[in-house]
Structure 1
Amino acid sequence: MEYLRQITEDNFMEAFNLKLANGQERFVSHPIRSLAQAYVYRNQCQPFGIYKDDTMIGYVMVIYDYDIPEYDIWHMMIDESNQGQGYGSIALDLVIEYIKTKPFGASDKVTLTCNIDNIHALNLYKNKGFKETGTMDEDAMFAETAGSVPLLLCVVLCGFASMNFMTAPSISLEGISLWLLQSLPIDTWKTDDSRLT
């Protein structure tokens, strides 16, 4: 069974022993570097070991950016001996479930970066619903979940809906839209009489 386990003093050495496949160092940072970042950002992040039964087979870190606000998935990697077996997909599902508990903040936005040459990771993220944002940082692209789009759409639609009651009387009093005029609780002729005086 696969699961996430927080990196602590009891298992951080296991993370140090994880190995990337040859040539993958350009795609993702090793957990040693990531754990140094976790120390710096300790009030807004959580590093995890990815486990299969009692063996750490990978690593991932979740960090919360209070400035935006959003959750970021950093440095996800599977040990070279366990790659190609679907553990990355399972781990990503587990990370997203963890983020849904909103451990650091209320944001529904989840982002990650991926090297543009890392075709396997790009396909995994796209299959899980991540969309390219179009933002690039050197040779890495940013992606985010579609969960932030419905929230934005809801805010925009609610904004338009709330403006309807404010603009309806002024438009109707000008006589431009009869249906708006008829929706007012004032008789049409009384409105016309008030414009004449």
Structure 2
Amino acid sequence: MITLKAVDKHNWEACAELKPPPEQKRFMVSNLFSIAECQFLDGFLSKAIYNDDELIGFTMYGLDPDDGNYWVYRFMIDERFQGQGYGYNAMLLVIDEIRKASDRTDVIMIGYKPDNELARKLYSKSGFREKGISPWGEMLAKYRFA
């Protein structure tokens, strides 16, 4: 069973040690950077992704002050657990948590490198629709609540 738990004093080091496969490292910053960054972004949450009691991934999301929408800033599944459907199930949980937020907007945004095909497939399967390349070079995709 996939669950999301807060990153806290008990699991932050284990979250920092999670790694993507070598060919995906160029697509993201380290989890340690994201955990630190989250300390300074009001309204953002960092969550550990678990399969039962085993830590398998990391995500960070929140309300972006620049456009007022929820954004998924980071999402990763450790290399040992990719290709098993965990990413899809975890993304559905992230979407559901945002759906339940009292300050949620009608959309969730996500950005990724245009050549990251695994991300494109996962986000598309989860309901995100590509909107085009951002000024900073990422593909932007939008999830719209029904």
Q: Same fold per TM (> 0.5)?
A: yes
- Are 1:30 and 1:75, in contact at CA under 8 Å, matched by a contact in 2? no
Which runs of structure 1 show a deviation greater than 4 angstroms over 4 or more consecutive aligned residues? Answer: none
Cross-structure match for 1:65: 64
Per-residue deviation, 1:137: 4.2
More strand by proportion, 1 or 2? 2
Please give the alpha-carbon distance, in whole angstroms, between the structure 2 residues aligned to 1:106 and 1:141.
22
Aligned partner of 2:111 in structure 1 is 113
Greater Rg by CA: 1
Q: Which residue of 2 aligns with 1:6?
A: 6
Q: Which runs of 5+ in 2 are unaligned?
A: none
Q: Does 1:133 align with 2:127?
A: no
2:31, 2:125 → 1: CA distance? 25
Taking the aligned partners of 2:136 and 2:25, their CA distance within structure 1 comes to 15
- What SS class does the counterpart of residue 22 from structure 2 fall into? coil
1:110, CA displacement in angstroms?
Answer: 0.3
- Closer, same or farther: CA 139–65 of 1 in aligned 2, 3 Å: closer
Relative to structure 1, the CA distance from residue 137 to residue 31 in structure 2 (aligned partners, 3 Å threshold; closer, same or farther) is farther
TM-score by length of 1: 0.70
Q: How far off its partner does 1:135 sit? A: 3.3
- 8 Å contact 2:98–2:104 — kept in the other structure? no
Q: Which has the higher contact order (CA 8 A, sep 6+)?
A: 2
Q: Tell me, in whole angstroms, the C-alpha distance in 1 between the residues paired with 2:89 and 2:14.
A: 20
Secondary structure (helix, strand or coil) at the match of 2:104 reads coil
Give the equivalent residue in structure 2 for 1:19. Answer: 19
Q: Counterpart of 1:46?
A: 45
Question: Which residue type is aligned with residue 23 of structure 2?
Answer: G
Specify the code of the residue in structure 2 equivalent to 1:56: L
SS at match of 2:20: coil
Judge conservation of contact 2:70–2:104 (CA < 8 Å) in 1: no
> Residue by residue, what CA displacement relative to the aligned partner does 1:2-41 show, whole Å, maximum 9, x if unpaired?
1000101111011011011012111122211111110111
Query: 1:123 is matched by which residue type in structure 2?
Result: K
- The CA distance in 2 between the partners of 1:138 and 1:71, in whole Å, is 18
Q: Deviations over 1:112-156 (max 9, x none)?
A: 001111101101111222111113244421111133xx7xxxxxx
TM-score (norm 2): 0.93
For this pair of structures, how many residues does the alignment match?
146
Give, as a single letter, the amino acid of the residue that structure 1 aligns with 2:13: M
RMSD value, Cα: 1.5
